Structure 1
Amino acid sequence: MSINEQALGKLVHDLQSKLQEATRMVASVQAQIQAREREKKLSELTNKELSSLQADTVTYKSVGKMFVQEPLNDLTKELSERAKDMTKELEALDKKRIYWERNKTEAQGNLQELIRQIQQAQGA
């Protein structure tokens, strides 16, 4: 194997590794986005249900394996804050997803271009 073939082999391997990492990160970020969306939706739905209750209704908050009495106003405020936090996290995760998708597309393009050039060189 010549030095040129070794360099090409290393380059192909590096591009494949970069593509695999980008693919893995895109999947990871998408899973995180789905989890945050579920949590946000749950907070909003719970808040909506609590808003239909009277102000003097006794409410409880789950803390581990027990329930602690919590004023309705505090509970709705906490759920609203959690939904806002999830929105901010979703925005950050979406930027992260776009970054990794761009890296993935770039790595795919570079790998395809390198393979095309290798095939042309072998054909010539």
Structure 2
Amino acid sequence: MALNEQALGKIVHDLQSKLQEATRMVASVQAQIQAREREKRLSELTKTELGALQPSTSTYKSVGKMFVQEPLPVLTGELSTRVKDMEKELEALDKKRIYWERNKTEAQGNLQELIRQLQQGQK
């Protein structure tokens, strides 16, 4: 019986660590998604504001602690590219989130099933 209890304890420990890792990864991916969405919104807003300017307007791009003059079409092109990149990253992060949520749900279900079986075995 002691061997069975040790094996059972190892299974419970493995399921708990799998659940903790999945929970941690879901939170991490959600934080990354929020950061990318914020960056995407900022780029879209900046692009909208720059769209209201005359094409001949002098515009500057921040590079570290300095500003470099950039033509308006180049700057708006960079912002468009950044928005597209953020959309691709968001799609990839969403797939990651779904994967980790599925792992989390599976680990919870396995742990609950094990506990239910243990409770039924004690009766």
So what's the TM-score if we normalise by structure 2? 0.99
**Cα-to-partner distance string for 1:62-110 (whole Å, 9 max, x where unaligned):** 0000000010000000000000000000000000000000000000000
After the TM superposition, which segments of 4 or more aligned residues of structure 1 sit over 6 Å from their partners? none
- The count of corresponding residues between Structure 1 and Structure 2 is 123
Equivalent residues in 2 for 1:85-124 (5 A)? 85-123=85-123
- Give the residue type in structure 1 aligned to 2:97: R
Alignment partner of 1:50 is 2:55: no
Residue of structure 1 in register with 2:22 after alignment: 22
| Structure 1 unmatched ranges of 5 or more | none
CA distance in 2, matches of 1:21, 1:115: 20
- Give the residue type in structure 1 aligned to 2:63: V
Residue of structure 1 in register with 2:83 after alignment: 83
- Give the residue type in structure 1 aligned to 2:56: D
RMSD: 0.7
| Structure 2 unmatched ranges of 5 or more | none
CA distance in 2, matches of 1:41, 1:22: 28
